[in-house]
Amino acid sequence: LAAFACSMGDNVIHYEGHVRMMGAVQPFLSGAISKTVNMPEQATIEEIEKIHMLSWELGLKAVAIYRDNCKVGQPLSTMKKDDDKTDAATATAERLIERVVNQPVRQKLPRSRRGRTFEFRVADCKGFANVGEYEDGRPGEIFLTVSKQGSTLAGIMDSFAKSVSYGLQYGVPLHAFVEAFINTRFEPAGMTDDPDIRMASSIIDYLFRRLAVEYMTPAERAELGIFTRAERMQPTLPGVEETVVETAQGVDVIADPKTIPSAAELEASMAAGSFGHGESKAAGTGAICSSCGSSNMRRAGACYVCGDCGSTSGCS
């Protein structure tokens, strides 16, 4: 029915309907009516001429005619435009999917998981490290607690452990962390209570050496120079080939030891200020250099002097 006609679709208003609608309103207006007469793309020149004549007969002061698809761009919505919008939406969705796929994926640990906790001491600093594991045994999180809670060192170590945990969960291999952070040097540093890692240049150095011992293979650790106590006691270290070199050099005969001096001779030597041999071998002091971590420390008065870097420590 013409009463239900609309501007778009199959049941559209006839273009003469636009003109007659304006003709019914024009007697009540002093000026022209701003109304466009929409005509189909198949409209002919004769039909357009007929519309102009009808407008004149109805007394319209102005008429604007628009023929569909007569311009490159038009405000009307057509099926072609809808297809373009669909293509644009599809392209946008594909770009979003590509962007999401390329983002790193975090692999969280299960709610119930196994872990390892080990206690350590580096110099005078005591701490605990808790490592959470995936079902296949890989480390996925690290919690690090050191003595003196509330201190700057404790806060930094806790934040550092969280950042390492995020890296492990986003796929960063443990080997990369170990290679990057071993031999990191800062205080506290020195002797540890771990038989596999006797010396550490920092807490981070000890932590990643311990993780390497726990989770890396001997071949991987051999590339980084990390060995356990049992491996160091082997005649040949893991990953190191033993070569035998034959030489024609004769065997040196060890000289007979000197006769042990008697008590009277020792007394006379001490009175003369000489110990008989004229040389004294420096004994190890057990102190650790605070600058380079070397154990080659010699006593000089009330201080210790490092034989490697020359710095002094332990002065009173």
pLDDT in tens, 252-311: 555 555 556 666 776 776 666 554 444 434 444 556 776 666 767 777 766 778 877 777
Name the CA dihedral angle for 51, 56, 58, 59, rounded to a multiple of 10 degrees: 140
Domain segments of the chain as ranges: 2-67, 115-232, 286-316
Q: 253: helix, coil or strand?
A: coil
DSSP secondary structure letter of residue 7: S
pLDDT of 237 reads 53
- Alpha helix ranges (H) inside the chain: 15-25, 45-57, 79-102, 152-169, 174-181, 203-215, 218-224, 229-232, 263-272
pLDDT of 83 reads 52
Residue-wise pLDDT tens digits, 126-145: 888 889 988 888 898 998 88
Structure tokens at 284: 């190890």
Percent of the chain with pLDDT over 90: 3
Handedness of CA 69, 73, 79, 83 (dihedral sign): positive
Range of 57-71, 106-120, 252-266 with top mean pLDDT: 106-120
* pLDDT for 110 beyond 80: yes
Local confidence band at 189 (pLDDT 50, 70, 90 cut-offs): confident
* pLDDT for 75 beyond 80: no
Contacts of 64 (CB under 8 A, 6+ apart): 34, 35, 36, 37
Between residues 167 and 6, which one has the greater pLDDT?
Answer: 167
- The CA distance from 286 to 198, in Å, is 13
Q: Check: CB of residue 306 under 8 Å from CB of residue 312.
A: yes
Between residues 17 and 87, which one has the greater pLDDT?
Answer: 17
With CA atoms as reference, report the closest residue to 222 among 118, 234, 190. Answer: 234
pLDDT of 280 reads 39
pLDDT of 278 reads 42
Handedness of CA 271, 275, 280, 283 (dihedral sign): negative
pLDDT of 76 reads 54
Name the CA dihedral angle for 77, 82, 88, 89, rounded to a multiple of 10 degrees: 110
pLDDT of 279 reads 41
pLDDT of 7 reads 57
Between residues 313 and 15, which one has the greater pLDDT?
Answer: 15
Q: Check: CB of residue 222 under 8 Å from CB of residue 240.
A: yes
Percent of the chain with pLDDT over 70: 66
Q: 311: helix, coil or strand?
A: coil
With CA atoms as reference, report the closest residue to 158 among 172, 147, 173. Answer: 147
* pLDDT for 123 beyond 70: yes
